[in-house]
Chains A and B, each alone.
Chain A
Amino acid sequence: MKMARNSKNLIGSASLALLLAQSVALAADWPQFRGPSYNGVSEDTGVPVKLDRKDVAWKSDLPGRGLSSPIVIGDRVFVTCCSGPKEQQLQVLCFSATDGAKLWERHFWATGRTMCQSKTCMAAPSPASDGKRIVAFFSCNDAMCLDLEGNLLWFRGLGRDYPNAGNSLGMSSSLAIAGGVVVAQVESESDAFTVGLDLETGVNKWKLERAHKSNWSSPIVVNEAGREKVILLSSKSVSAIDPDTGKVIWESTNAGGSIPSTACSGGVLFVPTKAGLAAMQSSAPGEEPKQVWQSNQLRPGYASPVVLNGKVFTISDAGIMVCGAAGTGERLWKLRLKGELTASPLAVGNYLYCVTEAGTVQVVDITKPEGEIVSELELGETILSTPAISRGAIYIRSDSHLWRIGKAATG
Chain B
Amino acid sequence: MAGVPAEAGPSDDLTNSLAIIRAVGTEGRGNAEAAVAWKKVADSDASAIVPTLAAMDGANDFALNWLRPAIDTLADRAQKNGGALPLPDLGTFLLDTRHSPRARRLSLDLLAKADPGTADKLLAGMLNDPSLEIRSEAVQKVIALAETAATNNNKTGAELLYHQALTSARDIGQIDSVSKRLEELGQPVDLLTLFGFLTDWKVVGPFDNTDKKGFEGAYPPEQGIDLAATYDGKAKKVKWQNVTVTNKYGLIDLNQVCGKLKGVAAYGMADFYSDQAQPAEVRLGCATAWKVWLNGKLLFSRDEYHYDSSTEEHPLPVQLQPGRNIILVKVCQNETVEDWTVDWDFRLRVTDAIGTPIASRPPVKVAAASSQQ
Contacts and interface: CB of A to CB of B under 8 A. Distances in A.
Interface of A: 84-85, 104-109, 111, 115, 142, 144, 146, 150-157, 160-161, 163-164, 167-169, 188-190, 197, 200-204, 212, 214
B13 interface: no
A344 to B, nearest CB: 24
A160 B300 CA distance: 13
A204 B28 contact: yes
A115 B26 CA distance: 22
Interface of B: 24, 26-29, 31-32, 34-35, 38-39, 42, 61-62, 64-66, 68-70, 72-73, 76, 102, 132-133, 136, 171, 173, 300-305, 307-309, 312
Contacts of A200: 32
B43 to A, nearest CB: 9
A205 to B, nearest CB: 11
Given A151-B73, A203-B31, A189 B64 contact: no
A202 B66 CA distance: 13
A324 to B, nearest CB: 31
A190 B302 contact: yes
Give the 4 A-B CB pairs with smallest separation, nearest first. Answer: A203-B28, A168-B308, A106-B69, A168-B307
Given A108-B65, A111-B62, A167 B307 contact: yes
A107 B32 CA distance: 20
Contacts of A109: 61, 64-65, 68, 102
Contacts of B173: 85
A144 B72 CA distance: 15
Given A152-B38, A155-B62, A168-B312, A108 B28 contact: no
A152 B66 contact: yes
B27 A204 contact: yes
A408 B289 CA distance: 53
A153 B304 CA distance: 34
A155 B307 contact: no
A214 B307 contact: yes
A154 B65 CA distance: 10
Contact of B38 (A111, A151, A161, A169): A151
Contacts of B308: 115, 168
A189 B304 contact: yes
Nearest to B70: A152
A109 B64 CA distance: 8
Nearest to A159: B61
A152 B28 contact: no
Contact of B72 (A106, A160, A167): A106
B146 to A, nearest CB: 19
Nearest to B27: A161
Contacts of B132: 85
A163 B65 CA distance: 17
A127 B72 CA distance: 20
Given A106-B72, A111-B62, A154 B133 contact: no
Nearest to B62: A157
A85 B175 CA distance: 13
A104 to B, nearest CB: 6
A115 B27 CA distance: 23
A155 B132 CA distance: 24
A187 to B, nearest CB: 12
Contacts of B64: 109
Nearest to A84: B133
A168 B309 contact: yes
Nearest to A166: B304
Contacts of B42: 151-152
Contact of B65 (A144, A151, A197, A212): A144
A161 B312 contact: no
A76 to B, nearest CB: 16
Contacts of B305: 189
A44 B191 CA distance: 58
Nearest to A204: B27
Given A104-B76, A109-B61, A115-B312, 14 more contacts: A106-B72, A108-B65, A108-B68, A111-B65, A152-B70, A155-B62, A190-B302, A190-B303, A190-B304, A200-B32, A201-B31, A201-B32, A201-B35, A203-B28
A214 B307 CA distance: 10
Given A106-B72, A108-B68, A168-B308, A85 B136 contact: yes
A153 B31 CA distance: 8
Contacts of B102: 109
B302 A164 contact: yes
Contacts of A203: 27-29, 31
* From A155, A156, A157, A203, residue with most partner B Cβ within 10 Å: A155
Contacts of B24: 155
A85 B309 contact: no
